[in-house]
Amino acid sequence: MIGDIDKFSKNFLEKIKNQKIHLVSHYDTDGITSAAIFSKTLERLSKQFSVRIIKNLTEEEIKSFPEDRIIILLDLGANSISELKKLKNQVFIIDHHEIKEKEFPEKISVLNPNLNNRENLCSAELAYLISRKISEENKDLAYLAILGMVGDTMDKEITKTRDLIIKEADVKIKKGLLLYPSTRPLDKTLEYSSRPFIPGVTGDYKGTFDLLKESGIEKIGKNYKALIDLDEKEMKNLVTSVMLRLPAKEKTTDYIGNLYLIKFFNRIEDAREISAMINACSRMDKPGIALLLCLGNANARKQAEKIYVKYRQHIISGLKYIDKNKKIKGKEYVIINAGNAIKDTIIGTLASILSFSSVYKEGTIIIAMAYNDDKIKVSARMAGKNPKSGWNLKKLVDSITCLVGGNSGGHKKAAGCIISKENEEKFIELLKKKLDFELVKV
């Protein structure tokens, strides 16, 4: 991987001489932290650049790129090579999503771990490795790579390169119950917990109070302790109380892991909470605030905290809506069509939460849909921590999208697409036929 970074970085520095740059990043945490890393790197190089944060890299978006600038795509672009080839611009793609093409014209440079079966690093980690290769001064940006890694739930696999980044970020790691934020009063952490969704506790303060009382955890003054401040006995009691409320098939080991604590705004913070806050800003249509938050803007921090509260309320109400409303169910799949009831920007998050919960058995394909004006956002997830299903969700989504039109992308276990609302019924029918036929065949 380091050899790829060296080659990419050298080419990048050569091509950007005397050139203006247009950064385009995906709007999730990985994309925005990548944009923050590159923004700070280019600023230190005294380069002129613009930044655009988007939900999807559509054909229309590509056509709108300024012709007089070098284009840098962060956490997207892997599925748009054919359209990017039509540009006259020099294009740099830093993306970890699955990529079909293996050869590229000279004007397109690609850094993607899937090309050579390299370490599975997220886009922010790749961006950081390029940044630190450009200048040792940029090692102070390692914390942004950690936020991107945690945001893309890649923190359980500690590879050689990832371990290096963790050390350079000066991260403190503590073993404990995987709830966040681990640095805030425990009653609020439990009440707003969505991974896991704790029946009778999530979204229910009385249930939260009862659980803490049962665990023998009391207030100190006006507030409860934070998760990271619990002693061994308190942590053990809390784990027991939480697991008693989860379905019997859930394993305790799935909810015990590393809590990543980083220095952010001169205080120790839970990396997962900051990552979630960045993501929340984008999902609530405020990606600019998310970027400024990553860059250390104090005013953005205040705004982000308010947005985060509203976002968590949306998540809880969204989960309740899905629980109470009708769904299309098949043998090993479920289709949730929320229409206008849930924001298109959080439907994927809800699908992910459901996939990690015990609501659906392992291997169940979860398809969640939500409107966005005349378009429909579709998110596909595979239920379970380590599903052994032979399904490739990206190929599944691609196979339907190519028949009805739209843009698709993703991975084997998490994919999505954007389709026209006029093709809603056709998409659902084709999807049902495909799933029913393949499942019967299996």
Give the CATH number of the domain where residue 18 resides: 3.90.1640.30
- 313 and 329, same structural domain? no
The CA-based angle 279-344-87, given to 5 degrees, is 80
Q: What is the pLDDT of residue 386?
A: 66
Token code pair at residue 403:
């028949």
Number of separate domains in the chain? 3
Cα–Cα distance for residue pair 229/183, rounded to 1 Å: 8
The answer as to whether 166 is a domain residue is: no
Residue 98 makes CB contacts below 8 A (sequence gap 6+) with: 78, 79, 114, 394, 409, 410, 411, 412
Whether 89 shows a pLDDT value over 80: the answer reads yes
The answer as to whether 377 is a domain residue is: yes
Whether 194 shows a pLDDT value over 80: the answer reads no
- 186 and 296, same structural domain? yes
Residue 13 makes CB contacts below 8 A (sequence gap 6+) with: 134
Confidence of residue 86 (pLDDT cuts 50, 70, 90): very high
Cα dihedral 205, 210, 216, 218, rounded to 10, equals: 40
Q: What is the mean pLDDT of residues 242-254?
A: 81
Nearest to 42 by CA among 112, 110, 130, 125: 130
Print the domain residue range for 101.
2-151
Whether 328 shows a pLDDT value over 60: the answer reads yes
- 296 and 357, same structural domain? no
Confidence of residue 442 (pLDDT cuts 50, 70, 90): very low
Whether 415 shows a pLDDT value over 80: the answer reads yes
- 335 and 286, same structural domain? no
- 329 and 315, same structural domain? no
Domain end call among 298, 319, 340: 319
The answer as to whether 124 is a domain residue is: yes
Q: What is the pLDDT of residue 1?
A: 65
Q: What is the pLDDT of residue 439?
A: 56
- 346 and 288, same structural domain? no
Cα–Cα distance for residue pair 38/129, rounded to 1 Å: 11
Q: What is the pLDDT of residue 387?
A: 66
Task: State pLDDT tens for residues 354-406.
Answer: 988 778 888 899 999 999 999 999 999 998 866 666 788 999 999 999 999 99
Cα–Cα distance for residue pair 310/391, rounded to 1 Å: 35
pLDDT exceeding 90 applies to what percent of the chain? 65
- Which of the two residues, 104 and 423, has the higher pLDDT score? 423
Residues 343-366: b if buried by 16+ CB within 10 A, e if exposed: bbbbbbbbbbbbbbbbbbeeebbb
Residue 412 makes CB contacts below 8 A (sequence gap 6+) with: 98, 391, 392, 393, 394
Domain end call among 319, 345, 377: 319
- 308 and 428, same structural domain? no
- Which of the two residues, 10 and 1, has the higher pLDDT score? 10
Amino acid at 119: E
Q: What is the mean pLDDT of residues 411-429?
A: 92
In the numeric block, the tokens 């098939």 are attached to: 249
* Residues 435, 333 contacting (CB under 8 angstroms): yes
Whether 441 shows a pLDDT value over 60: the answer reads no
Whether 235 shows a pLDDT value over 50: the answer reads yes
Q: What is the mean pLDDT of the chain?
A: 90
Q: What is the pLDDT of residue 361?
A: 87
- 24 and 117, same structural domain? yes
- 193 and 104, same structural domain? no
Cα–Cα distance for residue pair 87/104, rounded to 1 Å: 13
Q: What is the pLDDT of residue 170?
A: 86
Q: What is the mean pLDDT of residues 170-195?
A: 87
Q: What is the mean pLDDT of residues 51-62?
A: 92
Q: What is the pLDDT of residue 155?
A: 77
Q: What is the mean pLDDT of residues 301-313?
A: 93
Q: What is the pLDDT of residue 158?
A: 81
Q: What is the mean pLDDT of residues 85-94?
A: 94
Amino acid at 308: Y
Residue 226 makes CB contacts below 8 A (sequence gap 6+) with: 181, 182, 183, 184, 185, 186, 189
- 375 and 276, same structural domain? no
- 180 and 227, same structural domain? yes
Whether 408 shows a pLDDT value over 90: the answer reads no
The structure's pTM equals: 0.82
Domain end call among 151, 186, 211: 151
Nearest to 148 by CA among 172, 176, 173, 127: 127
Whether 163 shows a pLDDT value over 60: the answer reads yes
Q: What is the mean pLDDT of residues 127-149?
A: 96
Confidence of residue 432 (pLDDT cuts 50, 70, 90): very high
Residues comprising the chain, all counted: 442
- 263 and 334, same structural domain? no
Tell me the HSE value of 357 on the side-chain side, using a 13 A CA sphere: 20
- The CATH number of whichever domain residue 404 belongs to comes to 3.10.310.40
